[in-house]
Amino acid sequence: MLKFTIDGHKQVFRAKEITKKTFDFWKNRSSELSQHVNGYVVDEDVKIGIYDEIEDFTVIGWELNNTILIIENSKENISFDLSEENLKKNKINFKIKKKNFKDICNKKKGYIFTAHERLRGTCGPAEINKAKNFEKIKFKIIITQFILPNSSEIKVITEISYDKHDISEDLLYLNFYGDGDLPNLEVKKI
């Protein structure tokens, strides 16, 4: 059996289109906005919802260059630095997809809510029972190169598979242990 655990910095970005009325209501109420998107109930016509349930536009992943993958089998533990340079050097199968927040905004008109947070922690383990020894050739990573609303860029690992087993959910979403800054929450005109 192989066990995969990931440790490092995780980026979470979510966005949702909102109405002008919702924008006008929240634009000068950052403290109340934080309470609302964390569960505080408001009138339906200005409701955004719980921020970590927003799926309209989401990028969640582990930062490239700030993350380590730990692979355990019955004989040894392997720590693998997840940097673009190391992936190339070790001939790991990876692909980079580009996603620009401004491209998403160009398709919409009006107003948007965004939540962006950076976390530090560990996720996993993801277990593959039929595998015994780690083989680099069976490992596949998808990296999303993401341009944020402020035009800064991050590269995050958004999909991970081993021997055609998708282990992304276990290593991106489940069993996260860690902490981080509060999310940066904003309503914007686009």
What does the DSSP assignment read for 85-154? HHHHHTT-EEEEEEEEHHHHHHT--SEEEEEEEEEEEEEEEEEETT--S--GGGEEEEEEEEE-TTS-EE
- Distance from the Cα of residue 10 to its chain's centroid: 6
| Rounded (5°) CA angle 135-126-63 | 85
Average pLDDT (9-37) is: 92
pLDDT tens figures, 168-188? 988 988 888 889 888 899 998
C-alpha span between 131 and 142 (Å, rounded): 21
Q: What is the pLDDT of residue 145?
A: 92
Q: What is the pTM of this model?
A: 0.86
| Ranges of each domain in the chain | 2-189
pLDDT tens figures, 63-95? 999 999 999 987 888 898 999 999 999 999 999
pLDDT tens figures, 24-68? 999 999 889 999 998 888 888 999 988 888 878 888 999 999 999
